[in-house]
Structure 1
Amino acid sequence: MIRIFLPPDELTSEQITITGEQAKHLSVLRVKPDDQVFIFDGVGNRYTCEVLQSHKKEVTARLIKKEPYSTQSPISIVLAQGIPKGDKMDLIVQKATELGVNNIVPLISERSQIRKTGKKDRWEKIALSASQQSGREKVPNISEPLSYDEFIYSCSGETPSSAGILLYEEEKTRKLKEVLGNLRHCKRIVLLVGPEGGFSKKEAQMAIEKNFISVSLGPRILRTETAPITAISIIQYELGDMG
């Protein structure tokens, strides 16, 4: 079934008109009259719709059914990701969205080779597309890029219902899976991942002083785009709804 997002104020009448990027998306998928489409409103509802007319820039549809719908994991994950080189962040945003992350915070850290991005709009489009593909009813929020210091000072690390986890290649004893075994009470995980080269010792110490728990993903060093995908999958398996 084809899935798209529309804001609630565009879903108030029985017959709706879809324009803009979503109409283009439906056109690319070659929808035709009598096809059914799922529309998500971003606030927990799914609408079953029947296409009446389909044109390149405009699609008309009839709302058949509205129902509550949720694919939200019981664990809320915030991914704070050091911005890597090139287009690697695109892949990270896409896969983190598919895996159920709630918020993505791009970070400018000591070893980030990109200081200004201007890519927030692009990342939001990638997150929207990945949400539609994966059947999520909400698109993750993507923050404006923050400096590492600014982000860390705003964090409180571990609380009764949340915890901060730092992926750190210098950590030799604590494995992520073992740490998660002691965090069954948590409803929210803030996952901190560095860019190429990881975080500096100074940055790691700053996070630890804010009660982030430094962990290892194992004996092999993973690329910056592989590490968050791996860690999110483990978190969802241990505390969320995967597996």
Structure 2
Amino acid sequence: MPRIWCDEPLSPGERVLAGEAARHVQVLRLQPGAPLTLFDGRGGEWAANVTRMGRSDVAVAVGVHDPVEREAARAVHLLVGMPANERMDWLVEKATELGVTSLQPVLTARSVLKLEGDRAAKRQARWQAIAAAACEQCGRNRVPKIAAPVALHTALRGAGQGGRVVLSLRAGSQPLREAAGAAPAVWVLHGPEGGLTPQEDDAALAAGFAPAHLGTRVLRSETAAIAALAVLVFS
């Protein structure tokens, strides 16, 4: 059954969908009477039926709320040294499918992708839309927050309480699972192509991040983020 994300709170009764939600229904060529599932990112999902197909909007009848949740047992927040080109789009999609709680793009000394101002805002909106579409596909009812890009020092200050780890090649780093421990929420920092500089690595350690590794192989930036997320979500 099609799943559609709505960016406004849902409740039982007649409702008009507009914007991306309406376009999604139209692309699927659903007809009046067709069943679908709606979710607004606030928990659970709603049974609904199409009642009218318009040119720019779609009317639906919203029915029963199902409080089902499909979130990971542990909250994992990624602080991502942004990979270049379309790899960030791929990373947002796959991280959402795996269950990331939030994703903070980070500007570092070796970042190839430099975003600020209008470009950053437009790219953030694109990434947030990718996350919503991934939730529609994978069954999640809570859309992870994809934040606007910030400098590394801002990202370090914004990390919450819980486990803090930085993927690091320095001597003495622990396997990721050991470094994160049993914390119910974990913030994972990793660098872009080329990694963090030694100074950035030091700044992360000074901010309370423990050095961690994913084994002996050198992974691409986006691969490392997904591997770290999988280790923490499924451990």
TM-score normalised over the length of structure 1: 0.88
CA distance in 2, matches of 1:150, 1:2: 39
2:137 counterpart residue number = 133
1:30 counterpart residue number = 29
Structure 1's unaligned 5+ residue stretches are 239-243
2:2 counterpart residue number = 2
Pick closer, same or farther for the CA change 1:126–1:205 going to 2, 3 Å.
same
Is residue 45–residue 65 contact of structure 2 (8 Å, CA) maintained in 1? Answer: yes
What is the CA distance between 1:235 and its match in structure 2? 0.4
| Pairwise CA RMSD | 1.8
CA distance in 2, matches of 1:173, 1:20: 47
The reply on whether 1:142 has 2:142 as its aligned counterpart is: no
Q: Deviations over 1:107-159 (max 9, x none)?
A: 00010122224211111111111111111111111212110122224447xx5
Match for 1:166: what amino acid? V
Identity of aligned residues (%): 30
1:190 counterpart residue number = 187
What is the CA distance between 1:38 and its match in structure 2? 0.6
1:241 counterpart residue number = none
What does residue range 144-159 of structure 1 map to in structure 2 within 5 Å?
A: 144-155=148-159
CA distance in 1, matches of 2:156, 2:50: 48
1:233 counterpart residue number = 230
What does residue range 101-140 of structure 1 map to in structure 2 within 5 Å?
A: 101-116=100-115, 117-118=119-120, 119-140=123-144
2:209 counterpart residue number = 212
Is residue 24–residue 56 contact of structure 1 (8 Å, CA) maintained in 2? Answer: no
CA distance in 1, matches of 2:144, 2:131: 7
What is the CA distance between 1:82 and its match in structure 2? 0.6
CA distance in 2, matches of 1:7, 1:27: 17
Is residue 12–residue 64 contact of structure 2 (8 Å, CA) maintained in 1? Answer: no
TM-score normalised over the length of structure 2: 0.91
Is residue 169–residue 221 contact of structure 1 (8 Å, CA) maintained in 2? Answer: no
Pick closer, same or farther for the CA change 1:178–1:153 going to 2, 3 Å.
closer
The reply on whether 1:176 has 2:182 as its aligned counterpart is: no
Match for 2:136: what amino acid? Q
CA distance in 2, matches of 1:125, 1:56: 22
What is the CA distance between 1:26 and its match in structure 2? 1.2
CA distance in 1, matches of 2:27, 2:225: 31
Match for 1:25: what amino acid? H
CA distance in 1, matches of 2:80, 2:64: 39
Is residue 4–residue 38 contact of structure 2 (8 Å, CA) maintained in 1? Answer: yes
Match for 2:17: what amino acid? I
CA distance in 1, matches of 2:192, 2:135: 24
Structure 2's unaligned 5+ residue stretches are none
Match for 1:223: what amino acid? R
What is the CA distance between 1:69 and its match in structure 2? 2.4
What does residue range 51-130 of structure 1 map to in structure 2 within 5 Å?
A: 51-116=50-115, 117-118=119-120, 119-130=123-134
Say how many residue pairs are matched. 230
What is the CA distance between 1:56 and its match in structure 2? 4.7
Q: Deviations over 1:32-62 (max 9, x none)?
A: 2222111112211311001122345322221
Match for 1:28: what amino acid? V
